[in-house]
Amino acid sequence: MADLEPGTPLSVAVTDTSEGPVVAVQGDLDVSNADQLAAVLDPLLKQQPTRVVFDLTDLRFMDSSGIAVLLRAAAAVPVRVTRPSPIVRRVIEATGLTDALHVES
């Protein structure tokens, strides 16, 4: 049996902008590292920003654990997802969350 290739490590960077914080997420977001994104978001959400923008341009993969983290943020403050990669966009569309996460090209 062939071994599965390891995923691309998750990288999260936050930049403050006039629109609110932009959270750039890169790599693979799954059950093994969703808590890493949550750990970045928790203190950010406690500051009650007016909005959080997720830049998913370089996110290669996301499973339901990643979706759960995004939804938890959306329950706390308005969120916007920008430039998701095609595979991540398909995951969001397949779950019917395009409007809830305010996905933009």
Domains of the chain: 32-104 (3.30.750.24)
pLDDT in tens, 25-83: 999 999 999 999 999 999 999 999 999 999 999 999 999 999 999 999 999 999 999 99
User: What is the predicted pLDDT for the residue at 5?
Assistant: 56
Which two three-digit tokens encode residue 105?
A: 């090209």
Query: Cα separation of 41 and 70, whole Å?
Result: 9
Distance CA 97, CA 85 (A): 15
What is the reported pLDDT for 19? 83
Residue with tokens 């790599």: 27
> 4: pLDDT confidence band, cut at 50, 70 and 90?
very low
Query: CA–CA separation, 69 vs 86, rounded Å?
Result: 19
- pTM value is 0.91
**For residue 25, what is the enclosing H or E element?**
strand 20-29
